[in-house]
């Protein structure tokens, strides 16, 4: 039997044992934090402890943590419902490489272009803001496909200089690099538990003081009337525990990065025409997106799967479809190169050295085979 290797951690990663243990301790009990009786008060205490722990870990006031069903809902809530308390803002500027949970929530928006590395163009941002009404600018902290990290602090300085807001989708960054809400200076930030070892179906939107939220889910007073619905307490507690453990693991990022780089060096040595996207800028230490001319990502993903290796083609949030990446298109990657791009992403439980070596063997074999077939 083939020993499977999972290298798609940017799509979702395994539930951490401590998070699972914390969740199991609550499952089966009546845990409605809105109830006023003793059981409800115990649930409320556990909910607020999780909120306080998340707030402390990410450097934000606990009142600024809104629990959601995941990163997509958090992004929708921010883009559709956030305003300054004293100054309504209706204009949206969205980077060309944002996740669809952001771009689809801002249909009437201006696009902020990126350079060949996938990093936003700060001069274009300044131009989009100059002489215009204040805007909410939506830029992710790190890209889910290429791993490219954005200059959020510089973006914040520019946008705040024009009285705007900055929403940062940090779902891919948390647990991989240092993330601080206060340190980044953003006004809103989204996170998703299952990206850093928490459960599926839990996330949060972090908001700064003097930011109001118009709820998109109505009908209850939960989350200070910013998000209705009984909170999923086991998942929220699991998210809190997983976050604490994930932040401890950030200290190993240099080792992860060096092993990712070693994998890429081996691929480039064997297939010199291969291109590693965003290699010329700062990236998440666990992420590699690469291709060679004339390859088919669909066929590569299938071949790797048959060999026991799970990877993805671009974003994994497209209903299982393998299609050309809007991120690579925004970076002006030629179609014959973008068509063969795959993403490899290591996780908290990966053996990056061993798993990377196996990936190199199978990918180079298949890339050469496809190249030979194309030449015949």
Yes or no: say if 188 and 171 are a contact pair by the CB < 8 Å rule.
no
Yes or no: say if 33 and 233 are a contact pair by the CB < 8 Å rule.
yes
For residue 165, the surrounding DSSP H or E stretch is strand 165-169
Q: Could you give the angle at the alpha carbon of 345 between the alpha carbons of 317 and 319, nearest 5°?
A: 15
Locate tokens 């902020």: which residue?
Answer: 112
**Known catalytic residue at 317:** yes
What 3-state DSSP class applies to 307? coil
Yes or no: say if 238 and 15 are a contact pair by the CB < 8 Å rule.
yes
Q: Collect all residues with Cβ–Cβ distance below 8 Å to 56 and sequence separation of at least 6.
A: none
> Catalytic: which of 138, 274, 289, 317?
317
Half-sphere exposure of 175 (CA within 13 A, CB side): 30
Could you tell me which residues are beta bridge partners of residue 91? 135
Could you tell me which residues are beta bridge partners of residue 342? 290
**Phi, psi dihedral angles at 6 (to 5 degrees):** -100, 115
> Concatenated DSSP letters for 200-262?
TT-EEEEE-TTEEE--SS-SS-HHHHTS-S---HHHHHHHHHHHHHHHHHGGGHHHHHHHHHH
Yes or no: say if 203 and 71 are a contact pair by the CB < 8 Å rule.
yes
Tokens encoding 196: 């850093």
| Pairing outcome for strands 82-84 and 211-213 | antiparallel
Tokens encoding 94: 């969205």
**Phi, psi dihedral angles at 259 (to 5 degrees):** -75, -35
d(CA 253, CA 142): 15
Nearest Cα residue to 192 out of 177, 202, 182, 178: 202
What 3-state DSSP class applies to 227? coil
The catalytic residue positions are: 317
């Amino acid at each position: 039997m083939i020993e499977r290797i999972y290298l798609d951690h940017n799509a979702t990663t395994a539930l951490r044992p401590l998070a699972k243990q914390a969740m199991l301790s609550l499952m089966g009990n009546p845990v409605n934090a809105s109830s006023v009786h003793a059981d409800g008060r115990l649930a409320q205490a556990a909910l607020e402890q999780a909120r306080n722990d998340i707030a402390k870990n990410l450097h934000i006031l606990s009142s600024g943590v809104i629990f959601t069903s995941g990163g997509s809902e958090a992004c929708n809530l921010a883009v559709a419902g956030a305003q300054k308390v004293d100054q309504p803002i209706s204009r949206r500027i969205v980077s060309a490489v944002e996740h669809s949970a952001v771009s689809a929530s801002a249909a009437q928006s201006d696009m902020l272009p990126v350079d060949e590395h996938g990093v936003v163009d700060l001069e274009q941002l300044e131009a989009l803001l100059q002489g215009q009404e204040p805007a909410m600018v939506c830029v992710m902290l790190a890209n889910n496909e290429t791993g490219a990290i954005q200059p959020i602090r510089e973006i914040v300085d520019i946008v705040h200089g024009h009285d705007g807001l900055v929403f940062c989708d940090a779902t891919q960054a948390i647990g991989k690099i240092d993330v601080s809400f206060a340190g980044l200076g953003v006004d809103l930030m989204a996170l998703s538990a299952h990206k850093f070892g928490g459960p599926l179906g839990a996330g949060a939107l972090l908001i700064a003081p003097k930011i109001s939220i118009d709820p998109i889910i109505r009908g209850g007073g939960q989350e200070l009337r910013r998000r209705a619905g009984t909170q999923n307490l086991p998942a929220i507690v699991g998210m809190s525990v997983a976050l604490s453990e994930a932040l401890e693991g950030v200290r190993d990022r240099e080792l992860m990065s060096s092993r990712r780089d070693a994998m890429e060096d081996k691929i480039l040595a064997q297939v010199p025409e291969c291109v590693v996207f965003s290699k010329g800028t700062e990236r998440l230490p666990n992420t590699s997106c690469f291709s060679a001319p004339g390859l088919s990502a669909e066929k590569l993903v299938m071949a790797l799967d048959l060999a026991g290796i799970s990877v993805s083609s671009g974003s994994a949030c497209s209903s299982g479809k393998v299609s050309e990446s809007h991120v690579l298109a925004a970076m002006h990657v030629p179609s014959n190169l973008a068509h063969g791009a795959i993403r490899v992403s290591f996780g908290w439980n990966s053996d990056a050295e061993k798993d990377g070596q196996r990936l190199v063997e199978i990918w180079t074999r298949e890339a050469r085979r496809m190249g030979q077939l194309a030449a015949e």
